[in-house]
Amino acid sequence: AQSVTQLDSHVSVSEGTPVLLRCNYSSSYSPSLFWYVQHPNKGLQLLLKYTSAATLVKGINGFEAEFKKSETSFHLTKPSAHMSDAAEYFCVVSEVTGRRALTFGSGTRLQVQP
């Protein structure tokens, strides 16, 4: 079975400061990991994905995530937060076979203060 734990339900940063959203995963196999962002009343947008290539993954809007197998982590970072980054962020792991359904973390709400 696979699971995802997002360690913070709410993160608040000031505009221009770094962002760190933490995610730990559990998977029996080599996982595929994703970060999605959801703005209020909108669908989910893919930020970035890890699929066993480079461990440091670059995504859209300046976000990055690093896959660390030894720590079973896939934390999302951004050097400098913008007001438009305020949203809900989901860490997600995908099944390797079969239905390839996604297992979502509970989400982290990012608040950006002016």
Partner 1 sequence: SQTIHQWPATLVQPVGSPLSLECTVEGTSNPNLYWYRQAAGRGLQLLFYSVGIGQISSEVPQNLSASRPQDRQFILSSKKLLLSDSGFYLCAWRDQGTSLRTQYFGPGTRLTVL
Q: Which residues sit at the interface with partner 1, rule CB under 8 A?
A: 32, 34, 36, 41-46, 49, 51, 90, 94-96, 99-102, 104-107
Contact between residue 78 and residue 14 where contact means Cβ atoms under 8 Å apart = no
Q: Is there a contact between 103 and 4 (Cβ–Cβ < 8 Å)? A: yes
In the complex, what is the shortest distance from the CB of residue 93 to partner 1, in angstroms, rounded to a whole number? 9
CA atoms within 13 A on the CB side of 43: 2
- Shorter beta-carbon distance to partner 1: residue 65 or 81: 65
Smaller CB distance to partner 1: residue 28 or 41? 41
Q: Quote the least distance from Cβ 32 to partner 1, whole Å.
A: 4
Q: How far is it, in rounded angstroms, from Cα 6 to Cα 10?
A: 10
Nearer to partner 1, 26 or 80 (CB): 26
For partner 1, the closer of residues 15 and 103 by Cβ is 103
- Give the nearest distance from C-beta 14 to partner 1 in angstroms: 25
- Calpha distance 102→114 (Å, rounded): 34
Question: To the nearest whole angstrom, how small is the minimum distance from the Cβ of residue 100 to partner 1?
Answer: 5
Residue labelled with tokens 């933490």:
22
Alpha helices in the chain (DSSP H): none
